Amino acid sequence: MNIFKNVISAKHGFRGAANKYSKATGLCFLHSVSNSVEVHSPEQEVVIALGSNVGNRLDNFNEALRLMKKSGIQISRHGCLYETEPAYVTDQPLFLNSAIRGVTKLAPHELLRVLKQIEKDIGRTEGIRYGPRPIDLDILFYGNFKIHSESLSVPHERIWERPFVMAPLIDLLGSAIDSDTVGSWHSFSTQKCGLFESWEKLGGEQLIGKDGMRRVLPIGNRLLDWSQKTHVMGILNLTPDSFSDGGKFQSVDAAVSQVQLMISEGVDIIDIGAQSTRPFATRISAEEELDRLIPVLEAVGQIPGVEDKFISVDTFYSKVASEAVNKGAHLINDVSGGQLDSDMLKVVSGLKVPYLAMHMRGNPSTMQSSENLKYDDVCKQVSSELYSRVTEAESSGIPGWSIILDPGIGFSKKSEDNLDLLMGLPSIREEIGLKSLAASHAPILIGPSRKRFLGDICKQPDANRRDPATIAAVTAGVLGGANMVRVHNVRDNLDAVRLCDALLKHRKS
């Protein structure tokens, strides 16, 4: 039992978030109270903001997350990661900002003490207000309660004027209000339609990419702003049995030559796979996969110009993921979304690299079974199942700001399902956004390259003759909101995405 001093519950009269965001109705809030109140609930849901602009900002965030978990804060969601210009005191380095949502048994002032100790442990010292700091941790919300004391005000008193706080806070919500606690957070807003209206009053989504505020994906030693252009991922299969180019790049020399070609053509990410995931493929062991992969990874790392590219490894084995990152890979691309190796999510969490979670039912041997091909609404069901992968990844310690989503074109999908997905990327984002706006903002990758459904539609049984159809599929996907495309033919698809990017930029202007 905790005693809250000077606690006031959520104000009455809130009618739900603005219609464009919320479908929830019938919210109820705590009765108004003042002075002291005894709270019998053993846990409270909290929102904590993070900021850093001194030292290795991302390492500071990761250490803060680790220490919060160690102190009894169970993190359930992460906002997107934002790089922002400083406010108030402007002559200082750029900040990273985000926020987390979780539950804790710590009373509010105990939580405050824990966060202040974490700041101290990471190296924060007394300095000028709003000045540089290695880490800044603020309690934005604590359960359904308003708290006012000499040392603590909740909600944080300056939320409403700070886009760099409001943006990650909004990320932690869904457009549908899923609990009374979230409803109470909306009721704390200075606007009658809740937090969403407060965010819109500041400028809302129009601020992102402008006014010194951009969403970023930490990858390698860089912060990738994926909104600036569509990124092209080139495929390098080291397998003897892949459907398009199996056996072509099994030798180290052949693999290196192909990477050199992709670099010369302007590839952004090189995706190396040593296990075939075509339909009905036979699974090989992690050891055999590593035998194929590691010599190529080591050789690719020595290619001139590769330092400006990102290396992805296509694997569903945690052991392969760990070894690949140790050899220089920047990204793990898991077709199973963590479903084929129970250790994958925990291992990737420790590796501190981005995680590309794809939608697939079953495994490559079973994904095209009649049971796995059953959908009532493919976009809605893929969205729901992908969101489950996100929540599992976040609960395993992979920050939401490091997750990339792939709807899995060609994996446990019929031809018409693949077409629905290509045309339905906006609805996939919207459906995920009902539960998590952060997840709805994640980069989306599509991989239609040379897939069988293109051959069926265009009457091209030879996979190597499906590049024109691939370009058309990529174009549809990018114009529908894809941020990354995974392709065999880098040169021609790069031209296609450049045109798409120009069209999107022209439409926006």
Residues annotated as part of the active site: 451, 486
Q: How open is the CA angle 154-156-161, to the nearest 5 degrees?
A: 150
How would DSSP label each residue in 9-43?
EPPS----S-TTT--------PPP--S-EEE--S-
Q: In what order do the strands lie in the sheet with 310-314?
A: 403-406, 355-358, 331-334, 310-314, 269-273, 231-237, 484-487, 445-446
Rg of the chain over CA atoms, in angstroms?
Answer: 24
Q: Would strands 73-78 and 445-446 be described as parallel, antiparallel, or unpaired?
A: unpaired
81: Cβ–Cβ under 8 A, 6 or more apart, which residues? 61, 96, 97, 98, 215, 216, 217, 218, 223, 399, 401
For the CA atoms of 349, 355, 360, 366, the dihedral, rounded to the nearest 10 degrees, stands at: -70
Pairwise CA distance, residues 91 & 246, whole Å: 55
Q: What CA–CA distances, in Å, run from 259 to 24, 71, 271, 304, 465?
A: 50, 46, 10, 11, 21
Q: What CA–CA distances, in Å, run from 257 to 97, 159, 293, 300, 465?
A: 41, 53, 15, 9, 22
Q: Would strands 269-273 and 310-314 be described as parallel, antiparallel, or unpaired?
A: parallel
Pairwise CA distance, residues 52 & 393, whole Å: 24
181: Cβ–Cβ under 8 A, 6 or more apart, which residues? 45, 143, 144
Three-class SS of 264-319? HHCCCEEEEECCCCCCCCCCCCHHHHHHHHHHHHHHHCCCCCHHHCEEEEECCCHH
- Contact at 8 Å (CB) between 183 and 27? yes
Pairwise CA distance, residues 150 & 504, whole Å: 51
Reduced to 3 states (helix: H, G, I; strand: E, B; else coil), residue 172 is coil
Nearest to 503 by CA among 471, 470, 484, 481: 481
**Residue 312 one-letter amino acid:** S
**Residue 66 one-letter amino acid:** R
Q: How open is the CA angle 360-391-164, to the nearest 5 degrees?
A: 125
Q: How many CB atoms lie within 10 A of CB 204?
A: 16
Q: Would strands 231-237 and 484-487 be described as parallel, antiparallel, or unpaired?
A: parallel
